[in-house]
Amino acid sequence: MIQRNTRLDSVNYELQGPLYEKAKELEEQGHRILKLNLGNPAPFGFDAPQHVVDHIIQNLPKAQGYADYRGIVPAREAIRDYYRTKGVQGVQLNDIMIGNGVSELVFFAVQALLNEGDEVLVPTPDYPLWTAAVNFSGGKTVHYLCDEASGWYPDLTDIRRKITSRTRAIVLINPNNPTGAVYPPEMVQQLVALAEEHGLVVFSDEIYDKILYEGVVHYPTACFADTALVVTFSGLSKNYLSAGFRAGWMLVSGNKRAAAGYIDGLNILASLRVCSNVPAQYAIAVALKGYQAVDDLVLPGGRLRQQRDLCYEMLTAIPGISCVKPMGAFYMFPKIDVKKFGITSDLQFALDFLEQQQVLLVQGSGFNWQHPDHFRVVYLPSSEEISQTMVKLSGFLQQYQQQSPALSLKDR
């Protein structure tokens, strides 16, 4: 028998896992499934700005060959200039690397750092790619608590308690997926100070840094780093509604002198794949410097703001559901009263809802949350679809009691 790599035994990505496969099976049977498993703007009518699309088309003749493994110069210049306007200093062109989406770069960043058994502090709940990347790289994920009672902010006491001699890095996801929390500057500063104290690399996932509500301001982690090394991640997928273009970037800032070996490792990994997709790289400069369509979407009356408000109001009106109001991104992470509904498995809950109401959600455990009392909602659909979905959820819960223990989807 040909077996898979045993490191995959600890790798999961529930956003496109067994529930997603079950949804496709139901589609093949003729059901229409509302897929709220991914933050994918395009299927819900959020198109990439036309000037960005046009620029890619115009530059296709230039994009037929390989580019520098770090990325084309105009794109990296635009990224550098963008972060300078946000207060990040000392970033040079060679500190910036473009990849096939942030996902590829996360794996580069983790694999270049970790030796077998090294530990990385990752939030719970988290975006599960981070846990997967650490585990697959031979590291050990140590989850620190983001506290729902404190607006889903990181619990600094819990973080400090979990730092050991094997800890190499800490991950921040800000604005946060799946909770929608946006961290205040003093909290980011405290987190960076803790990393500096213990010599940790800070991986800062900031791909939603423009999707903010009610006047909330996002502060890049790199603004607060003096002696810490910060690796910042962002891209076109969310802020620029261009998920399918697969254009992400990371930049290294802070104490680069002490990290020459690590940076060399990043360059080796990037050069092995020759370069990232070149046509989409031509979208980066025009996206960063041009009209920012997302700014209008998050203002009062803007589509994202309206959908967030409607989803929050209807969710929290359902008996047995509570939710911290998100201040960024396009997700909510509501809590469900497990005693009221007899829930012992959040996977079973999500499966029952999918089969009965044809709506695909992701259970909280898919984000490495340890209790069966949460699920994630994506509020990208139209207001009409959100309203219909919340009515379905309310009706479903009126009669729901989880009667049986969780079953493997293979058993269904």
Classify domain 6-47+296-411 at the CATH topology level.
Aspartate Aminotransferase, domain 1 (3.90.1150)
Q: Does 50-289 match 6-47+296-411 at the fold level?
A: no
Return the pLDDT at 412. Answer: 44
Mean of pLDDT over the chain: 94
Give yes or no for a contact between 18 and 409, defined as CB atoms under 8 angstroms apart: yes
Give yes or no for a contact between 407 and 393, defined as CB atoms under 8 angstroms apart: no
Residue linked to tokens 């009669």: 399
| 247: confidence class by pLDDT, cuts 50, 70, 90 | very high
Asked if residue 406 has pLDDT above 60, the reply is: no
Q: Report domain extents, the chain.
A: 6-47+296-411, 50-289
Section 294-307 average pLDDT? 96
DSSP assignment, residue 42? Answer: G
d(CA 261, CA 248): 23
Of 255, 194, 188, 181, residue with least CA distance to 224: 188
Q: Check the CA dihedral 276-121-206-80 and report its sign.
A: negative
Of 99, 45, 384, residue with least CA distance to 266: 99
Asked if residue 280 has pLDDT above 50, the reply is: yes
pLDDT tens profile 59-85: 999 999 999 999 999 999 999 999 999
Section 203-207 average pLDDT? 98
Q: Using the CB atoms, write b or e for 15-27: b if 16+ within 10 Å.
A: bebebbebbeebe
pLDDT tens profile 129-152: 999 999 999 999 999 999 999 999
Sheet holding 140-147, edge to edge: 96-99, 248-254, 229-235, 201-205, 167-173, 119-124, 140-147, 153-154
Residue linked to tokens 């060959």: 65
Q: How far is CA 32 from CA 24, 38, 150, 274, 341, in A?
A: 10, 16, 38, 41, 26
Indicate the pTM of the whole model. 0.93
pLDDT tens profile 319-372: 999 999 999 999 999 999 999 999 999 999 999 999 999 999 999 999 999 999
Q: Assign 3-state DSSP to the chain and report helix, strand, coil percentages, each to 5.
A: 45, 15, 40
- The bridge status of strand 201-205 relative to strand 167-173 is parallel
Return the pLDDT at 73. Answer: 97
Classify domain 50-289 at the CATH topology level.
Aspartate Aminotransferase; domain 2 (3.40.640)
Section 253-260 average pLDDT? 92
| Structural Rg of the chain based on CA atoms | 21
Q: How many CA atoms lie within 13 A of 308 on its CB side?
A: 25
